[in-house]
Structure 1
Amino acid sequence: MLRTLNRLFADHPREVGETYLHHAAAASRFGLKLARLTACAFAHAMVPGVHKTTVSDEIKRMADDLGYRAQIARECRMRDAGAFDPGL
């Protein structure tokens, strides 16, 4: 039971070098941003003249941010595995 709880709540945040609360805050920010973008996309579907590039521009920014976070997570996993060499 403890291993399951650890796997569900602690393993992934630790993998990406965050605490549970920090990870929850970051994931919540992305979720709220996606909810707002959903509304913008539907508004654009109904009135094509509004939010012409809002959704695509923001998704590009989010992709850059997520790519950076993924790189940090890879480096953290490499360091934890003993394969991290900052000189590379």
Structure 2
Amino acid sequence: MFCASPFPPSSPVLLSRCWQALLIEGSFQMFRRIFKDHPQSVGETYFEHAHSAFGFGTAMVGAGIKCLVHGLIPPLFTTSGSDAVRKLHTRMVTHRQRDKCNN
């Protein structure tokens, strides 16, 4: 990267501006990598991916609480954990298959 500046090449101001430019460029790459690359790799926008992930997370937390209750009181929620895993797996596989058909 070339930094044009009226300051001499060894100037701390020039070096600072070059580092700022590199950091800004690196920040954009990091931003893209964090917020765009993965959702795009699964065929979703950031917001579609966030919605799906929050849905999965909420279902997992709910199932986890039921499993904890089941651990304390065995007759309660006897199949809730395995039911949730089965539903989430089906949802994820179905979503992948739907995306493959649309491409």
TM tier relative to shorter chain: 0.7 to 0.9
Deviations 1:35-63 (A, max 9, x none): 11110000000000000111111211111
1:52 corresponds, among 58, 71, 78, to 78
Residue of structure 2 equivalent to 1:16: 42
Q: Give structure 1 stretches of 5+ with no counterpart.
A: 80-88
Residue of structure 2 equivalent to 1:7: 33
Please tell me whether Structure 1 or Structure 2 has the larger radius of gyration of its CA atoms: 2
Q: Give structure 2 stretches of 5+ with no counterpart.
A: 1-26
Deviation at 1:70, TM superposition (A): 3.8
Structure 1 length normalisation: TM-score?
A: 0.76
Which segments of structure 1 move beyond 4 Å, counting only runs of 4 or more? none
RMSD: 1.7
Q: Distance in 2 between matches of 1:26 and 1:9?
A: 14
1:38 correspondence with 2:64? yes
SS of the equivalent of 2:53 reads helix
Which is bigger in relative contact order (C-alpha 8 A, separation at least 6)? 1
Deviation at 1:71, TM superposition (A): 4.2
Structure 2 length normalisation: TM-score?
A: 0.66
Q: What number of residue pairs does the alignment pair up?
A: 76
